[in-house]
Amino acid sequence: MADVDAQRAEKIAQRDALIRAVLPHVAFDGWSRKTLTAAAESTGLGADAVGRLFPGGAKDAVAHFMEMADRLMLEDLAKLDLAAMKVRARVIAAVRIRLERWTPYREAVRRALALSPLPPFAGGSLRGWYKTVDCIWRAAGDKATDFNFYTKRGLLAAVYGATVLFWLDDRSPDCAATWAFLDRRIADVMQFPQVKARITERLKVLPDPRRILEKMSGRRRPTPAP
């Protein structure tokens, strides 16, 4: 078992190294097997490493890039005193940490996003996107198991996606405009429980829509049999 774990760790380390080597070149040559092969040769892994590490080519490489970004984000978050932070601050910190690391390689991220609608990439991109949002909520201490589990992830996915798009074109110093944008969007998400509660209370005092439809149609509810 120890040997298997060591082999797995070594393979992950090699994949990480290859992704790091390929990122500077993706801006010019895109996510392609040719780019991966050139990066593998430059790191000393050899051209045959691409088939061994990423048998699916660019599709597998982009998927690993997303997984690696999540893993490094969690490692960085582990260094913070999250217990002393409010949930909102934890979520903001997670999104910011995840993006800040890759600011020098924004074009590589843009190229990966451009591939996501294509059939070979669509499924993996959606799974990767969900895993990122799930990682952020779990790191923030979310333990929801009911409908709120999906609601929170859906809301954060929208916020995260909008923030990534904003960040890709942000040229403000240290991406200050992106973090201000993120803060506003997260504030909106955190208001959702209160908004939901207010809507629920208001719905209680509204007429039953079924009765309204019955009146408009001239129908009456059947009288229960005695």
Taking only the tens place, the pLDDT of each residue in 37-73 is 999 999 999 989 999 999 999 999 999 999 999 999 9
Residue 137 CB-half CA count within 13 A: 23
What span, in angstroms and rounded, lies between the C-alpha atoms of 93 and 71? Answer: 15
Label residue 192 by pLDDT band (50, 70, 90): low
Q: What angle do CA 194, 196, 201 make, to 5 degrees?
A: 95
Identify the pLDDT of residue 82: 95
Tokens 């490692």 found at = 75
Task: Give the pLDDT of residue 203.
Answer: 42
* pTM for the predicted model, two decimal places: 0.82
Task: Provide the H-helix boundaries in 45-118.
Answer: 49-53, 58-77, 87-100, 106-115
The rounded distance, in Å, linking the Cα atoms of 84 and 87 is 10
The angle that helices 106-115 and 147-168 make with each other, rounded to 10 degrees, is 120
- pLDDT tens digit string along 110-165? 999 999 999 889 999 999 999 999 999 999 999 888 878 888 899 999 999 999 99
- The CA distance from 140 to 94, in Å, is 8
Contact 40, 61 (CB under 8 A): no
Q: Is 147 exposed, middle or buried (0-12, 13-18, 19+ CB in 10 A)?
A: exposed
